[in-house]
Each structure stands twice: as structure tokens, then as C-alpha cells.
Amino acid sequence: MAEELQVFGFWASPFSRRVELALKLKGVEYQHIEEDLPHNKSHLLLQYNPIHKKVPVLVHHGKPISESLVILEYIDEIWKNNPLLPQNPYERALARFWAKYIEDKVVVAMLKAAKAKIEDREKGLEEAGEALEPLEKELGSKRFFGGEKIGFVDVVGTVVAYWAPAIDEAVGIEMIGSDRFPNIKKWSEEVVNHGVVKQILPPKDKLVPYLRTVLSRN
Amino acid sequence: MAEELQVFGFWASPFSRRVELALKLKGVEYQHIEEDLPHNKSHLLLQYNPIHKKVPVLVHHGKPISESLVILEYIDEIWKNNPLLPQNPYERALARFWAKYIEDKVVVAMLKAAKAKIEDREKGLEEAGEALEPLEKELGSKRFFGGEKIGFVDVVGTVVAYWAPAIDEAVGIEMIGSDRFPNIKKWSEEVVNHGVVKQILPPKDKLVPYLRTVLSRN
């Protein structure tokens, strides 16, 4: 390996998968270290991420970085080819805004809807829909959030493009119907069929049963 | 004004005040537009931040940016003097990690403790204390998170240095006692006595009664 680079991840985690996607988009080689979650975390993971005790952790020349959005910024600063963030500062700010929006609002609403008890499900789905509306509008007729090329927001957004439909299937709900979110639907197709993205997506026939188990545990 | 630059803010908000602090640290002139929160938001605020409908919004040459951490990154990219983030990519990643930690963990725990009903207060204080522990450890004997000079994490951390004690006073709790958090205490003194920080802090005799009203509303 050219550089001493490791990703501590978990096969089903959209958060560690997006870090691996960023590295693959840049053509950077790394070692994947699979964690046995949730009950058998490695000593190294706990040592590298003592605060959150979570994947992903990127370890570069022995130095650990946690939090997937922070890691993506780091990757984009270290390996400058195929930039993930736009070059223009205003466009960069908008990309960071949407990445944060997906993380803080969309993912939270998605999980809430997926974990809702039957009687709260309708409200959960309504909130997930409300969280997705601004994404639908922002996408418009663009191929990717980043324009013609996959970029920062798309990498972060794989959780919506691939994991959301898998959650729908696992739990038997419909968060992203084509009638209400045609732009997100079309963009999701682009994302999941992207040659590099395909390499990091966990197989659906393994992911769906896994999500069903995890989401019903709560 | 040299540049057409506006900050939509609110006098008591640590989130808009930190944006103004960043601009002042860089010596950038701007126009402050005070919002009448929470019930009388301006049409311009709603137009510029239709998603979150919140302060702060930075408007630069007519283009709006929301979310204070995103705004701070933008400011640091546009005005390169007195950099807020370190220059080294790994140090930058750590600064972003701690800023995010303050935002996602410390602020949330602080507000939860402050708003807790009497019977939940002890638990709330315990959680706030747990959230503050890693900050105490990270600070160690450093003057600022940024080293000898005030930086990104300190700017974000003004919410801990100044607002946390104000909340303590308003609600009659003690989140940051000197026994448990001597480093945070010492750092807080440094921060609130910094010449530029002083310019953006709302007067305590106005802030404390305001916080008392807001926090007891819930």
C-alpha cells in the first residue's frame, strides 16, 4: 500500500461506506478493517474513537479521524484529484449546507419513521416526507447534486439513494415514492448505478434482512 | 462598507454572535440586521433561510448562507488573514471534530439540563457533565483550543465559555463548577476577556433574565 491508510468500518453502515466511496472516487488505496458491531468493537476502534466509539474512523499514518463528514473534508484536502467539494467558496458553502441537512434532518427523520410504532408511523412518514421536500426541490433536474459529476452531497446522500429504499423494503413503508419525489428517484438511480458507488454498496439481499432486525429492535 | 456583507442575527444568540466574532477577528466590516425573534421574523430572513427559518444568515453580495459552522468555514475561505482553522489538514480535521462535538453534544446536553423539570434535573446535569468531560481533557493546559491564539473551536465554544455560566445563573444550576472543570473555567476566562470577543458578548444583566424567560417557557 502506497500510504498507510485504514478505514474502520461496518459493511452495512452508510457512514463508513461513504468514506470508502470518497477514497475510491479518488483512486486511493486503503485497508478496510471490519468491525463486529454493535457488541464486539475492537480495542483499536475504542482507542481511536474514545468519544463516540463508532465507525467510521480513518487512520492515516497512525493518526485517527472520526465523524464521516469531517473525514470527507480531510480526504478532499489531502488528495486533491477528483475534488468532492466545489472550488468556488459559495458553492462549497452550499454543498456543506446540504450535506449537513441530509445528516441532521433527513437521516434523523428517516430513522424515526422506520422505528415508529404502528400508531406513530403516519406521523413519522409525514415528517420524513417534509425532510425530503427541500432535497427534491434542490435537485431539480440536475443529474447529481454536484452537477454532471458525483460530488460531496451525493457521497453523503448515498444514505438516501440506497439505504432509504432498503429501509422501506425492510420495514414495509414507502418514504420515497416516485409520485412525490421524482427528482430524488431519478437521482437515486444515477447514484446507485454509478460505477464506483456500486463497489461500496452492500448487497441488498443481505442489507434488507439486517435492517429489518436492527430497526425492529427498538 | 467595503463589501456588501450582512449578518442577520439576534442579540442573545450564541450562533449569530459567533459569526460576528469571526468577522471581527478578521477585521471585516459588515452590517448587523437584528431579527425580532421568535415571533416576528423578517420577510428577508424567511426568504434567505427558507429551510430552517433561523439566524444566523450571512449574505455576501446578495447570496445567503445559513448554518453557523458552514458560515464560519466560508468566512475563513474568503478572508484568509487571521485564519480560524489551522493550516495543517490533520489539525483542521481535529478542529472540525471538536466544533461539531460542541454543537451536537455539549449544546444539546446543556439545553436539556437547563430545561429539565426539577425531578429530571440531576440526570440532566450528569449528562451535561459527561458531555463536558472530553472538552476538559482536550483543553488540558492549553490557553485556547487553537493554542496561543483564539481559533475555530474557541469561536464555536463561546457558547460554553459565556452562555453556559449565564444559563447556570438564569436557571440556578451549576454545569461548569471549577472543581470538576478547572481547564474549562480557566479557558472561559481567557475567552470572555479577549478584546474582540468582548465586543460581541451580550451584556449579562440583559442575557440572564432573557434566558430565564426562554428556558422556563418549555
* Confidence check: pLDDT of A1 > 60: no
Q: For residue B217, name the pLDDT band (cuts at 50, 70, 90).
A: low
pLDDT at B216: 83
Nearest CA to CA, how far is B79 from chain A (Å)? 11
* pLDDT, average across residues B115-126: 93
Residue B34 lies in a domain: yes
One domain, residues A30 and A50 = yes
Q: Residue B171 belongs to a domain with what CATH number?
A: 1.20.1050.10
In a domain, A151, yes or no: yes
Q: Where among A52, A78, A104 does a domain terminate?
A: A78
CB-based contact B74 A65, cutoff 8 Å? no
Q: What is the mean pLDDT of chain B?
A: 95
In a domain, B84, yes or no: no
Which residues in chain A touch residue B67, judged by CB atoms under 8 angstroms apart?
Answer: 96-97, 100
Chain A: residue nearest B95 by CA?
A70
Q: Select the residue of A51, A65, A94 nearest B93 (Cβ to Cβ).
A: A65
Task: Check whether residue B127 and residue B70 sit in a common domain.
Answer: no
Whole-number pLDDT of residue A3: 67
Find the mean pLDDT for residues B136-163: 97
Strand partners, A27: none
Question: For position B146, what pLDDT does the model report?
Answer: 86
Q: For residues A179 and A74, state if they share a domain.
A: no
pLDDT band for position B3 (50/70/90)? low
The answer to whether A168 contacts chain B (CB < 8 Å) is no
What average pLDDT does the segment A8-33 reach?
Answer: 98
Instruction: Please give the tally of structural domains in chain B.
Output: 2
Are A57 and A100 within one domain? no
Over residues B33-44, the mean pLDDT reads 95
Chain B interface disruption, residue of A67, A97, A105, A136, most B CBs within 10 A: A97
Examine the pLDDT at A100 and tell me if it is beyond 90.
yes
Cβ count within 10 A of residue A63: 12
Q: What is the pLDDT of residues A171-186, one digit of tens each?
A: 999 998 778 999 999 9
What is the DSSP track for B52-67? T--S-EEEETTEEEES
Question: Closest chain B residue to A87 measured between Cα atoms?
Answer: B77
In a shared domain, residues B111 and B71: no
Chain B residues near residue A78 by CB distance under 8 angstroms: 89
Please tell me whether residues B145 and B182 are part of one structural domain: yes
B32 vs B146, residue with greater confidence:
B32
Domain extent, residue A136, equals 89-216
pLDDT at B1 over 60: no
Please give the pLDDT value at position A165.
96
Q: Does B160 touch chain A (CB under 8 A)?
A: no
Q: Contact A73/B65, CB-based, under 8 Å? A: no
Å from A23 to nearest chain B CA? 16
Q: For residue B137, what is the nearest residue in chain A, using CA coordinates?
A: A51
One domain, residues A115 and A70: no
pLDDT at A177: 76
Closest CA to A91 of A154, A152, A28, A149: A152
Kindly report the nearest CA distance between residue B77 and chain A, in angstroms: 7
Residue B78 in contact with partner chain A when CB distance is under 8 A: yes
Q: Report ipTM for this prediction.
A: 0.96
Q: Which of A18-22, B1-5, B104-108 has the lowest mean pLDDT?
A: B1-5
Minimum mean pLDDT range among A117-121, A156-160, B199-203:
A117-121
CB contacts < 8 Å between A and B, how many? 56
> pLDDT band at B218, cuts 50/70/90?
low
Domain boundary, last residue among B15, B48, B78: B78
Q: Which of A78, A105, A131 is the last residue of a domain?
A: A78
- Structural domain includes residue A196: yes
Same domain, B112 and B203: yes
Does residue B140 belong to any structural domain of this protein? yes
Could you tell me the CA-to-CA distances from B164 to B15, B177, B184, B189 in Å, in that order?
13, 11, 11, 13
Q: Do A90 and B60 touch (CB under 8 A)?
A: yes
Please list, residue by residue across A181-215, b when 16 or more beta carbons sit within 10 angstroms of its beta carbon and e when fewer do.
beebbebbeebeebebbeebbbeeeebbeebbebe
Whether B83 maps to a domain, the answer reads no
| Residue B156 is assigned to a structural domain of this protein | yes
**B residues 52..71 contacting A (CB < 8 A):** 60, 63, 65-67, 69-71
In this predicted structure, the answer to whether residue A218 has a pLDDT above a threshold of 70 is no
User: Which residues on adjacent β-strands are paired with residue A6?
Assistant: A31, A59
- A106-120 residue pLDDT tens: 999 999 999 999 899
Cell of A181: 419525489
Residues of A in contact with B100 (CB under 8 A): 67, 69-70
In a domain, A15, yes or no: yes
Same domain, B67 and B95: no
Residues B163 and B141: their CA atoms lie apart, in Å, by: 22
Is the CB of A94 less than 8 angstroms away from the CB of B65? yes
Which CATH number characterizes residue A35's domain?
A: 3.40.30.10
Query: What's the whole-number mean pLDDT along residues A59-85?
Result: 98
Answer yes or no: do B68 and B104 share one domain.
no
Using the predicted structure, report yes or no on whether residue B26 has a pLDDT greater than 80.
yes
Pair (A193, A97) in one structural domain? yes
Q: How many CA atoms lie within 13 A of A72 on its CB side?
A: 26
pLDDT, tens digit (0-9, with 9 covering 90-100), for B127-142: 999 999 999 999 999 9
Using a CB-CB cut-off of 8 Å, the residues of chain A touching B93 are 65, 70-71, 73-74
Judged by CB atoms within 8 Å, which residues 113-142 of B form the interface with A?
134
CB-CB under 8 Å, B93 with A73? yes
A44/A146 Cα distance (integer angstroms): 35
Do residue A28 and residue A127 come from a single domain?
no
- pLDDT of A32 higher than 90: yes
Residue A91 CB-density burial (10 A; 0-12 exposed, 13-18 middle, 19+ buried): middle
Q: Is the pLDDT of residue B28 over 80?
A: yes
